[in-house]
Amino acid sequence: MVGAGAAGAVASIFLARGGADVVLVEKNEKIGKKLYITGKGRCNLTNDCEVQEFLKNVVHGEKFLRSALYSFTPQDTMELFEGLGVPLMTERGNRVFPLSEKSSDIIRALANEIVNLGIDLKLNTEVKEIRKKSDSFEVLTPWDKIVCDKVVVATGGISYASTGSTGDGYKFAKGFGHDIVEPKQALCPLIVAENVSSLQGISLKNVSLSAYDENGKVICSEFGEMMFTDRGITGPIVLTTSSLVNRKSKVKLSVDLKPALDEKTLGARILRDFDERKNQDLKNVTRALLPERLNLYVLKCAGLKESKKVNEVTKEERKALVDTVKDLQFTLSGLAPFTEAVVTSGGVSLKDLKPTGESRLANGLYFVGETVDIDALTGGFNLQLAFATAVACARDILKA
């Protein structure tokens, strides 16, 4: 087993429980470094929903993942960890966490089970190469040549590389002729072409963010919270959007700052405000509608002078204001770097893998977890993908 993250640890445990001799090789000094930072240190380990509902949150690999998820459901994950002595709790949106709210409890439970099962865990050991011999594999580390019947690659993606996921799985997969779907940042902040530095730190609740492709077709539309950064936007609806647009080019974004009001109602409200404060500067009247700095930005985008007296604003200018509040446009110019991406989208191509994770190009070689071209939205879905693919692979190996 190459990599002792979420997928590698669980696959090793299932294999050892089934009687297999497992060598688990991890380049870090401890297991589960990424697990430690999941869910802001609380580890949202799965989502307690039906598989059908779960699949709606899978961004890439839905068809490939079906059998793995039906065979190892979110409820099975909960049973696994409760069985390992970790009491769990379920929060808003079916998000499951350890009752202690400590990811370290999840890691400790896995580590204890690895010891109890007598798994040969080699820490501080980086796998450099995997070679296929006629009936076996050779896994090369700086100080070892491990000979084995099967190899499972569970090395993760390339986001948050400081946790150990540096894309080694792609290198191993390429060595066996696998295609790699270009890795892209997912669940990450978005960078826009416009200068939004004046808006940095402004947080918006109950807004709607839509993304459009180059033909003007809606890619997605999300309602909720977002925030401006110095170069773009972030927050829950932005992270979701990033996963849905990261493989597209020429994406336009539009923020509806007042989704609860249609154009007519918003227009009437603005007109009423104007009537009540005829002799005031425009910026002082529209301030009631939007946070201060955003107010100035919106007026500029609408082509309105902030110091103009309200009684001088024309009907057309009022319409431009309404249009801008309902459709504040940005051009997507990039994704935040992998160091800020919660997951990696892309990886070992699904066309080269069986649903068990076994390679179609090299019998006995498996790929599981984030190293594969699968990803999902936030809510405990990504860890569940790691666990479910790990178990599907372990069961297949044990069957053989």
Ligand X SMILES: Cc1cc2nc3c(=O)[nH]c(=O)nc-3n(C[C@H](O)[C@H](O)[C@H](O)COP(=O)(O)OP(=O)(O)OC[C@H]3O[C@@H](n4cnc5c(N)ncnc54)[C@H](O)[C@@H]3O)c2cc1C
Give me the residues that bind ligand X (CB under 6 A), please.
Answer: 2-8, 25-28, 33-35, 37-39, 43-44, 126-127, 154-156, 159-160, 163-165, 168, 342-343, 369-371, 380-383, 386
Minimum distance, C-beta of residue 150 to ligand X, in the bound complex (Å) = 16
Where b means 16+ CB within 10 Å and e means fewer, 34-64 reads bbbebbeebbbbbbbbebeebbebbbbbeeb
Minimum distance, C-beta of residue 52 to ligand X, in the bound complex (Å) = 19
- Write the CB contacts of 69 (distance below 8 Å, at least 6 apart in sequence): 51, 54, 55, 384, 385, 388
CB nearer ligand X, residue 44 or residue 229 = 44
Minimum distance, C-beta of residue 346 to ligand X, in the bound complex (Å) = 13
Minimum distance, C-beta of residue 396 to ligand X, in the bound complex (Å) = 17
Minimum distance, C-beta of residue 328 to ligand X, in the bound complex (Å) = 29
Minimum distance, C-beta of residue 312 to ligand X, in the bound complex (Å) = 51
CB nearer ligand X, residue 251 or residue 392 = 392
| Tokens 């790691």 -> residue | 386
Residue 110 contacts residue 31 (beta carbons within 8 Å) = yes
Minimum distance, C-beta of residue 191 to ligand X, in the bound complex (Å) = 19
Minimum distance, C-beta of residue 202 to ligand X, in the bound complex (Å) = 23
CB nearer ligand X, residue 35 or residue 310 = 35
CB nearer ligand X, residue 196 or residue 368 = 368
Residue 134 contacts residue 126 (beta carbons within 8 Å) = no
- CA-CA-CA-CA dihedral for 122, 126, 131, 132, to nearest 10: 40
Minimum distance, C-beta of residue 344 to ligand X, in the bound complex (Å) = 8
CB nearer ligand X, residue 81 or residue 330 = 81
CB nearer ligand X, residue 26 or residue 222 = 26
The residue type of 165 is S
CA separation for the pair 289, 207 (Å, rounded): 13
Residue 238 contacts residue 226 (beta carbons within 8 Å) = yes
CB nearer ligand X, residue 28 or residue 90 = 28
CA-wise closest residue to 302 among 289, 292, 317: 317
CA separation for the pair 198, 332 (Å, rounded): 18
Angle between helices 381-399 and 6-17 (to 10 degrees): 30
Residue 369 contacts residue 393 (beta carbons within 8 Å) = no
Minimum distance, C-beta of residue 268 to ligand X, in the bound complex (Å) = 44
CB nearer ligand X, residue 297 or residue 381 = 381
| Tokens 């509806």 -> residue | 256
CB nearer ligand X, residue 7 or residue 299 = 7
Q: Which residue number is nearest to ligand X in terms of Cβ? A: 5
In this structure, what DSSP letter does residue 108 have? H
CB nearer ligand X, residue 1 or residue 289 = 1
Residue 382 contacts residue 5 (beta carbons within 8 Å) = no
Q: Which helix (H) or strand (E) holds 35?
A: helix 33-37
CA separation for the pair 350, 329 (Å, rounded): 36
Three-class DSSP category at 117: coil
